[in-house]
Amino acid sequence: MLFGILKEQDQRVSVTPELAKKFISEGHEVIYEKGAGESAFISDELYEGIGAKSKSREEVLSSSNVLITLDPLSKEDVAKLAEGTFLFSSFQPFQDASICEVYATKGISAFSFDMIPRTTIAQSMDILSSMASISGYKAVLKATDYLPRYMPMLSTAAGTVPPSKVLVMGAGVAGLQAIATAKRLGAQVEAFDTRAAAKEEVMSLGAKFVEVEGATDDTNAGGYAVEQTEEYKKRQAELIAQKVEKADVVITTAQLRGRPAPTLVTEEAVKTMKAGSVIVDLASSTGGNCALTKDKEVVREHGVTIIGNSNLAADISEQASVLYSKNIQNYMKLFLTKEGFDFDFNDEIILQSCIVYNGDVIYGNEEKQKQLVPPAKVEESVEA
């Protein structure tokens, strides 16, 4: 098979030379768009050195059997694809299912990394977690760029400097990494999450857990928050407002899968913060957790700097590319052979990540999903 590597819109690259070398060692070919890895500090020479060939973007699109990207291809790029191309990317069909229709053509098959079940067995393939961890780390560093105060407590000849207070909202992968990073920098850290399971993890990192009684908890939500009752939201808003008022830095990470992010920090709460404080909103792409957030912008409101960025992982482009590529390698171990792809749709990871197959929309179509599972194996699973 012929694997293609494209130059992405952000600084990362989806396939590093290490993974490309793996493909070639298994008997496949790799071509790449010139400069594909330069923003991640991966030169064309490194790709050439492992046997990949440089081509124009049009040639990569039109001749590749397999394309692995960070973001979905545009309609213009899709029009240039060969019949039966396999696409792997983060399509986010749960945000807008109509995206599947864009790829339901030319016998294309599309697999979405963000649809891989967030289970223990799939952890090594979990691109969402890999990128979230980097974002949580970078969020704290980004906050320090704008914060006009020290993070740690310092004793100096001129007096003692108190530590900054950091409030992390959402203790998933990104939140936990933000907590760990802020603690390493010497800040006083508090964290809030609606999930009861997060309390132990937060406390194990040395942070104080902010708890609101009566939260709806769903262990099957795949690491996402779930919608709460109006009564709970009222109590939550009151407690959060108290904590936000005292915080020097607020980092928000809470997202609802397939729905707008919950508003956790109101404009009224922002007004109570000390001048010079910073909010980093990692949920900005889905509306933001702060009422004043603007996606992909840094704004200052009521003396508070508000950073809206859901893609901070791209700022650490080299390491993000390495982790992304490693996740892909682990995922493709499930079905990549020397002869090509051998999909076993009895595997929940493969089945759930497939959103389009041979030009048919699979996502949200149970009937189509059932047709992908070999009849004999369906009978075996029923007997078991």
Q: What does the alpha-carbon distance between residue 214 and residue 233 come to, in Å, rounded to a whole number?
A: 10
Residue among 361, 376, 317, 369 nearest 39 (CA): 317
Given its phi and psi angles, is residue 107 left (phi above 0), alpha (psi -120 to 50 degrees) or beta?
Answer: left
Question: Looking at 224, 331, 357, 363, which residue is catalytic?
Answer: 224
DSSP state at residue 83: T
Collapsing DSSP states into helix, strand and coil, what is residue 301? strand
- State yes or no: is 224 an active-site residue: yes
Question: Looking at 123, 204, 242, 381, which residue is catalytic?
Answer: 123
Question: Looking at 11, 112, 126, 133, which residue is catalytic?
Answer: 126
Q: What is the phi/psi pair of residue 50, to 5°? A: -100, 5
Residue 252 pairs in a beta bridge with 169, 281
Question: Looking at 54, 77, 118, 344, which residue is catalytic?
Answer: 118
Sheet holding 66-68, edge to edge: 53-55, 29-33, 2-5, 66-68, 86-89, 109-112, 354-357, 360-361
For strands 354-357 and 109-112, give the pairing. antiparallel
Cβ proximity of 33 and 56 under 8 Å: yes
Question: Looking at 129, 164, 317, 352, which residue is catalytic?
Answer: 129
- C-alpha pair distances (Å), 356 with each of 99, 112, 338, 372: 10, 9, 23, 11
- State yes or no: is 126 an active-site residue: yes
- State yes or no: is 129 an active-site residue: yes
Residue with tokens 């928050």, as numbered in its chain:
225
**Catalytic residue positions, numbered:** 118, 123, 126, 129, 224
